[in-house]
Amino acid sequence: MRVETNAEFLRQGRRVALRRITKHDREEFLGLVESSRALHRRWIVLPTTPDEFDDYLSRFDRHSADGFVICLAKRRSMVGFANLNEIVRGAYQRGLIGYGAFAPSAGSGYMTEGVDLLLDYAFTDLGLHRLEADIQPGNIPSLKLVRRLRFRKEGYSPAFICIRGKWMDHERWAITREMMDTRPG
């Protein structure tokens, strides 16, 4: 069961909590990105310097994009990150999510719980109707995560996103508020 806590956490689950990323996270975030380089290399590009972190943080205007960290609820140490990007209001009420675990905690199930908290926040507090995730076909952990959360596969886009200078194919997955309402448990 999710409970809201103090202003620091937007959502808190059994093991992890969701909060906005801030400038105070720079050192821990960059250290975890460095230790996770091998894990992320094929899938995403993350900031690796203080200036890149500041640029990353500056995109989160809370209108068209918002950035979060997923951290252990009790120890508050980061286990991953999540973003809401390309938020569109009006008739769409949609956003695109991105997420990733940090290597020290990868495979622990924390990200499934954390992304589920993000979904609840986006659908409840932000009033979004649809969230989408673009995932490379070989990214098995990420595909397993969206399946566990009951996203549906909606398509396949060849040469869809440029990562490290190479156009990569992606599967397109989505979930709507109604789909959340019909999930078991």
* Cα(58)–Cα(73) distance, integer angstroms: 26
> Do residues 54 and 106 lie in contact, with contact meaning Cβ atoms separated by under 8 Å?
no
Global pTM reads 0.92
AA letter at 180: M
> How large a percentage of the chain has pLDDT more than 70?
95
CA distances from 104 to 33, 34, 84, 137 (A): 10, 11, 23, 24
Mean pLDDT of 103-115: 94
- Residue 78's pLDDT is 96
> Do residues 60 and 67 lie in contact, with contact meaning Cβ atoms separated by under 8 Å?
yes
Question: pLDDT category, 10, cuts 50, 70, 90?
Answer: very high
